[in-house]
Structure 1
Amino acid sequence: MDLKFVILFLFPIVIGSLGNFSLLWHSICLYFSGCRFRSTDFILRHLTVANLLVILSRGIPETMAALGIEDFLNNVGCKMVFYLQAVGKGVSFSTTCLLSVFQAITISPRSSRWAELKVKALKCIGPCPVICWVLHMLVNIRVPMLVSDKMNNTNIINTIDYQYCSAMISSKDKISIFAALRLSHDILCLKLMIWSSGSMVFVLYRHKQRTLHIHRHKIPSRSSAETRASQSILTLVCVFVSFYVLSSILNVWFSLYYEASWWLVKISALIYACFPTLSPFLLMTHEQCVCRFMWKK
């Protein structure tokens, strides 16, 4: 049993699950209480579900492996766990991008051109997260084919050992249509995040400059709800990109050096769970009503 990794993996399971469940529960309560519905709330619910999927499907097996429990997943279990991880991570990526884009459109200037875009965006907000789930279910359909349990893994070459399962790294996978689709998706989402984040920074800067003279001789008032939401989503995007870059570097390392050391595999798993664990707290930092709701309980 490796106690330090047990503690490290229990942290995202307990803290991350608590944060995501709290944010999801609050969003549902607001919906049924008839409170004002923000355009990003629907996307936020899908993000929390995807985060929970990543945390539980990755954190629980890693914790059990760190406890020294062996052969607790059969071949079907391994395939299911890794498939859920891949789908959850992909949906988390897509919905974070959607949050950023829709928030940039929400705080955009009220010109006729932007007003028309806002109307179209509100019509798309419902089906977009659903499309993300379907897309990642299809794109990651090959993941179960590359995963097996330890007992059925006869091909010990070009595999990553996760202690409870093994994942095969095929050279053909680098040029497959599935790899191309995943790469295209990631590049598109990163470009959209950069554009939307830059737009939000520009709009918030202009708003601050316009209102600067009003508050020059007065006590600054609290920032508006839209400003707080934009700041939290900007922080969320920056944190996501940071962890995505670290995860991508490790994935490149695994593809080049098949026999990865066990501690590097564990670090990769921790990085995998960092964003889903931190994201609800980053969003709640600027959502004062959410924080009050949590701590009154």
Structure 2
Amino acid sequence: MSSLKNVLYFQPGLGVLANTLLLFFYTFIILGHRPKPTDLMSCQLSFVHIMMILTGEDIWLTDIFESLNIENDFSCKATFYIHRVLRGLSICITCLLSVFQAVTISPSNSLLAKFKPKLKEHMIRSFFCIWSFNLSFSSTLIFYVGAYTKMNATNQMKVTKSCSLLPMNYIIRGLILTVITSRDVFLVGVMLTTSAYMVIILFRHQRQCKHLHSISHLRVSPEKRATQTILLLVVFFVIMYWVDFIISTTSFQLWKYDPFILTVQKFVINAYPTITPLVQISSDKRLIDVLKILRSKCQQMF
């Protein structure tokens, strides 16, 4: 248990640091160069993950609300709502990344090819819809969450150190679980479908290249590298999502959260926003080149 807690202390710091690096890099690319559609999404995803990790650490938020003399019940609702919105944005933007990359690499004779000329326009509309949907979708949960009190501990389900779900009947509980599950299953299904489509395209492309060149002389194109990165992110997200889903659903149905389960779930929730920037950093040649230049300059200075 102590070793897991040590990981939980290290994990948020690493995640915030890596996502901040990506956020600055993609912001620079967007402002100073011609960005790719995926750059805009990756920039937004980095920002969402920074805020997601920080709001998941309810200790510092509690201190801020206390310093502003804000009531515990309001701070609990605000923190819970913001974190749920950010988690919804994370899954939606990841799904959007997968869809747009599938459109980008689709052959010119495919049905998706007609969306290529207006990718940026469709992306801006998608951002507006995603933010509007998640801000409204998570608002219903505000009425069923409040500050944790030991006096009524038997009727509450503790979800953070200072926050808990308030009592609700089985019909409302089942309805909330059904709606949330339906949204997530749909988005995960879209991710898996587009991922399978991209794998098929990459396989066909590789098979065609084998007839033209020797495998040893093949170079990985930027599009192929970006596709492989997004596929890896989707696979990792789906795995982490289902682990979190099983824990959350079981605890929600039983109306009981064990402290150890809370710790494990916290690790699972932070795993994706921590690993995502590390995968992107290691696969983006532009960022790797920038880091190499910075390293060489630092070596010259010292």
Taking structure 1 as the reference length, what is the TM-score of the superposition? 0.87
Q: How well do the aligned residues superpose, as a CA RMSD in angstroms?
A: 2.6
Partner of 2:57: 59
Partner of 2:7: 8
Alignment of 1:35-74 (within 5 A): 36-61=34-59, 74=72
- Determine if the alignment matches structure 1 residue 21 to structure 2 residue 20: yes
- Select 1:229's aligned residue among 219, 226, 230: 226
Partner of 2:155: 157
8 Å Cα contact 1:5/1:63 also seen in 2: no
For 1:256 and 1:194, the matched residues in 2 are separated by: 27
5+ long unaligned stretches in structure 2: 64-69, 296-302
For 1:122 and 1:111, the matched residues in 2 are separated by: 21
Aligned to 1:43, what secondary structure does the other structure show?
A: helix
For 2:257 and 2:150, the matched residues in 1 are separated by: 20
The C-alpha deviation readout for 1:188-245, integer Å capped at 9, x for no partner, is 21121111101100010011011113332x7434311000000000000000000000
For 2:148 and 2:247, the matched residues in 1 are separated by: 22
Partner of 1:126: 124
Partner of 1:84: 82
For 1:236 and 1:90, the matched residues in 2 are separated by: 16
- Higher helix proportion: 2
5+ long unaligned stretches in structure 1: 66-71
For 2:167 and 2:232, the matched residues in 1 are separated by: 34
For 1:55 and 1:215, the matched residues in 2 are separated by: 46
Aligned to 2:255, what secondary structure does the other structure show?
A: coil
AA matched with 1:284 = I
Partner of 2:300: none
Taking structure 2 as the reference length, what is the TM-score of the superposition? 0.86
Moved over 6 A (4+): 62-65
The C-alpha deviation readout for 1:226-268, integer Å capped at 9, x for no partner, is 0000000000000000000000100121023223221011111
8 Å Cα contact 2:53/2:273 also seen in 1: yes
Aligned to 1:142, what secondary structure does the other structure show?
A: helix
Identity of aligned residues (%): 24
For 2:32 and 2:43, the matched residues in 1 are separated by: 16
Partner of 2:202: 204
Alignment of 1:87-236 (within 5 A): 87-111=85-109, 113-151=111-149, 154=152, 156-168=154-166, 170=168, 171-176=170-175, 178-216=176-214, 219-236=216-233
For 1:294 and 1:81, the matched residues in 2 are separated by: 35
- Give the total of aligned pairs: 287
Change (3 A) 1:266 1:168: farther
Aligned to 1:140, what secondary structure does the other structure show?
A: helix
